[in-house]
């Protein structure tokens, strides 16, 4: 199964440049969770979905 063609080349280019993990907002959220006493795992595989991960999981 191939990926569908992008609807816009500009959007496609922007998304390909975007970082997928450890971005500033991700790190800020993790710091706030940790400071609140919560512990979590990062990039947890989704059961039954080979190429998907959960960003933050308990």
pTM of the model: 0.60
3-state secondary structure of 53: strand
Identity of the highest mean pLDDT range in 33-37, 39-43, 51-55: 33-37
CA distance 4 to 11: 14
What confidence category does residue 44 fall into, taking pLDDT thresholds of 50, 70 and 90?
A: very high
> Can you point out the beta strands (E) in the chain?
41-46, 49-57
CA distance 18 to 31: 21
Please report the pLDDT score of residue 13 as a whole number. Answer: 84
Q: Where are the domains of the chain?
A: 21-57
């Amino acid at each position: 199964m191939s990926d569908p063609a992008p609807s816009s080349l500009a959007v496609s280019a922007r998304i390909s440049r975007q970082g997928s993990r450890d971005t500033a907002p991700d790190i800020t959220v993790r710091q706030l969770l940790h400071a609140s006493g919560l512990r979590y795992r990062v990039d947890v595989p989704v059961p039954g979905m080979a190429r998907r991960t959960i960003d933050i999981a308990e």
